[in-house]
Structure 1
Amino acid sequence: MSHLLIYMPALNEAKTIYNVLSSIPKEFFGFDKISLLVVDDGSSDHTEREAMRANATVLSHKHNKGVGSAFVTAVDYALKTKADILVSIDADGQFDVNQIAEMIAPINESKADFCIGNRFLDRRPENMPLIKYWGNKQVNKLVGFISEEKIQDASCGFRAYSREALMNLNLHGSFTYTHEVILDLLNKGYSVSQVPVNVTYFEDRESRVASNLISYAVKTSKISLKCLRDYKPFYFFGIVALGFFLVSFFLGAFVAAHWIFTESITPYKSFGIISLILFLVSILFLVLALLADMLGRIRHNQEKILALIKGQTYEKD
């Protein structure tokens, strides 16, 4: 029996969640079982009641933990209930639930291990603030640079994941998960399909994640840089080492040139000392890069072991 699990994170979505859940098609090609899951992330309204009224399973957090934690809860539930594909979609009605079939098709056809929606196929979506559109583009570039894959919409919450992808997924951030998931799965060799999706932005709607764009940019950049540190440690620390070395080299070259022409390093003696210190710092970062690369290999092996343990724990009948 093939099992499709459709999941929604929810924070105070009582006004919309029943209608969104009720509008989801009752049948999908290739699936015998369709389940609905809502992770109520500390709502203070009647979100839980409305979701249950739409025949969804509700898992509630006692307080708001963030969409990253909500996603981890959903992944754990998907593995426990032996779902073959997990779809995540927002509870506010921004996305078209009829496109779920398009989202799961590449996985069903073994063309991809996970799919992410692309809201930016040819233009900026109507009513999406220009600064938010620009910010998304910058995040796409950063995630694409780290993953070495052209990512068109790294922040879209409309996605689908195969069971194998979920089994090998390891997340550490609670604020958001969208970028970390892409980096983690691509780093492990899983393939992605980017599916064009329709989105509606409501003028009076405030984003639960990106309501403060500066804070959002800082937090997502931290997550992405941590991923770069973890997945490409030699590159990450090597760049820092190279930066210190170049500054050291140019300062040292300047002092050396002054000595050649004047036979004295006065008044640039301090420059020579700084150059030597920076050179030693660059050596320390190079050593750190080598150690981090070694630890990265150990981490990679540990994640393989963890995936095997998950496979035994959540083994399908």
Structure 2
Amino acid sequence: MSKKILAIIPAYNEEKSIKIVIENIKDIVDGILVVDDGSEDNTSKYAKECGVEVIRFEKNRGKGVVIREGYKYFVNSEYDIAVIYDADGQYRKEDIIPVCEPIIKDEADIVVGSRFLGKYCEGANINYRIRILCNHISTFVTRLMSGLPTTDAQSGLVAVNKYAAKVLDLKADRWGIHQEIIIRAGKKGLRYKEVPIVFEKRMHGVSRLKVLKYPFIAFPVMLKAWLRK
């Protein structure tokens, strides 16, 4: 039996890229769910025009809540695999199937697309060195807390099967959700794999991740994820 893949696209004010991102992956996945985190533009309108499922929050609640809502939808759906795929166009459609492949083959419950096993394209990040340093520190701590051999704890391209989505017990509201996913995977004894991916330049705008604020938001989330049974 073939596995049905659902792409979960977290989106906040991404009207300039959402249609392109959806159209790019429509022929690769079996379904698409856009979770609009209280956008003040036409993100939801344009997503609906593409004929995909849309959940819209009235106000911005954070990426953690978006992903938890997406997993809740996934657990109660007909799909077998859920892959998180950001709306800014920095991840490649060509990497979706390779990231899902270990789950399709029943070799993993969760798969992370690692930019450090693959590569960052030129211009993929502003303040490149600072962000890479922060990611390395975050990844090192996540590796210690999870007991898993993660090389990219902040990757936004992550696939899970239904069992993983059910048992992860995620609590993060905003930043730190990706580290929490990995830490909880380790705590729950899930089968973990990584595959190399390529990270490209955003289609528009700049990243909303605040490098100096990030540790103060993410690390408490990670600690709580580690302490929880």
Common fold: TM-score over 0.5: yes
SS at match of 2:89: coil
Q: Distance in 1 between matches of 2:11 and 2:100?
A: 22
Partner of 1:160: 159
Aligned residue identity for 1:73: E
- What's the offset of the Cα at 1:97? 1.2
Question: How many residue pairs were aligned?
Answer: 224
Higher relative contact order, chain-length normalized (CA < 8 Å, sep 6+): 2
Q: Distance in 1 between matches of 2:17 and 2:56?
A: 18
Q: Distance in 2 between matches of 1:35 and 1:25?
A: 8
The answer on whether the counterparts of 2:90 and 2:203 sit within 8 Å (CA) in structure 1 is no
The answer on whether the counterparts of 1:180 and 1:227 sit within 8 Å (CA) in structure 2 is yes
Which deviations, in whole Å up to 9, do the C-alpha atoms of 1:170-209 show, x marking residues without a partner? 111101310111111111110111111111134963223x
SS at match of 2:54: strand
SS at match of 2:39: coil
- What's the offset of the Cα at 1:3? 2.7
Aligned residue identity for 1:217: P
Moved over 6 A (4+): none
Partner of 1:239: none
Percent of paired sites with the same residue: 29
Match of 2:97 among 97, 101, 105: 101
Q: Distance in 1 between matches of 2:28 and 2:174?
A: 33
Partner of 1:42: 38
Match of 1:89 among 56, 60, 85: 85
Which deviations, in whole Å up to 9, do the C-alpha atoms of 1:249-284 show, x marking residues without a partner? xxxxxxxxxxxxxxxxxxxxxxxxxxxxxxxxxxxx
Is residue 175 from structure 1 mapped to residue 174 from structure 2 by the alignment? yes
The answer on whether the counterparts of 1:36 and 1:55 sit within 8 Å (CA) in structure 2 is no
The 1:94–1:44 alpha-carbon spacing in structure 2 relative to 1, beyond 3 Å, is same
The answer on whether the counterparts of 1:25 and 1:98 sit within 8 Å (CA) in structure 2 is no
Cα RMSD after superposing both structures: 1.7
Partner of 1:79: 75
Is residue 217 from structure 1 mapped to residue 222 from structure 2 by the alignment? no
Is residue 227 from structure 1 mapped to residue 225 from structure 2 by the alignment? yes
- What's the offset of the Cα at 1:99? 1.5
The answer on whether the counterparts of 2:5 and 2:82 sit within 8 Å (CA) in structure 1 is yes
In structure 1, stretches of 5+ residues that fail to align are 29-33, 231-299, 301-317
Q: Distance in 1 between matches of 2:226 and 2:28?
A: 40
Larger fraction in helix: 1
The 1:227–1:67 alpha-carbon spacing in structure 2 relative to 1, beyond 3 Å, is same
SS at match of 2:7: strand
The 1:81–1:204 alpha-carbon spacing in structure 2 relative to 1, beyond 3 Å, is closer
Larger fraction in strand: 2
Aligned residue identity for 1:60: R
Q: Distance in 2 between matches of 1:64 and 1:113?
A: 30
Stretch deviating more after TM superposition (119-128 or 4-13): 119-128
- TM-score normalised over the length of structure 2: 0.92
In structure 2, stretches of 5+ residues that fail to align are none
Q: Distance in 2 between matches of 1:185 and 1:122?
A: 22
Aligned residue identity for 2:167: N
The 1:8–1:118 alpha-carbon spacing in structure 2 relative to 1, beyond 3 Å, is same
Q: Distance in 1 between matches of 2:171 and 2:24?
A: 33
Which deviations, in whole Å up to 9, do the C-alpha atoms of 1:199-240 show, x marking residues without a partner? 1134963223x1x2111111111112222333xxxxxxxxxx
SS at match of 1:140: helix
SS at match of 1:21: helix
Partner of 1:206: 206
SS at match of 1:196: strand
Which deviations, in whole Å up to 9, do the C-alpha atoms of 1:80-137 show, x marking residues without a partner? 2132100110111111112111111000111111111101126655233110011000
Partner of 1:121: 117
The 1:186–1:58 alpha-carbon spacing in structure 2 relative to 1, beyond 3 Å, is same
- TM-score normalised over the length of structure 1: 0.67
SS at match of 1:52: helix
The answer on whether the counterparts of 2:26 and 2:32 sit within 8 Å (CA) in structure 1 is no
Q: Distance in 2 between matches of 1:200 and 1:214?
A: 23
SS at match of 1:173: coil
Which deviations, in whole Å up to 9, do the C-alpha atoms of 1:58-78 show, x marking residues without a partner? 000010000000001101111
Q: Which has the larger radius of gyration?
A: 1
Aligned residue identity for 1:121: L
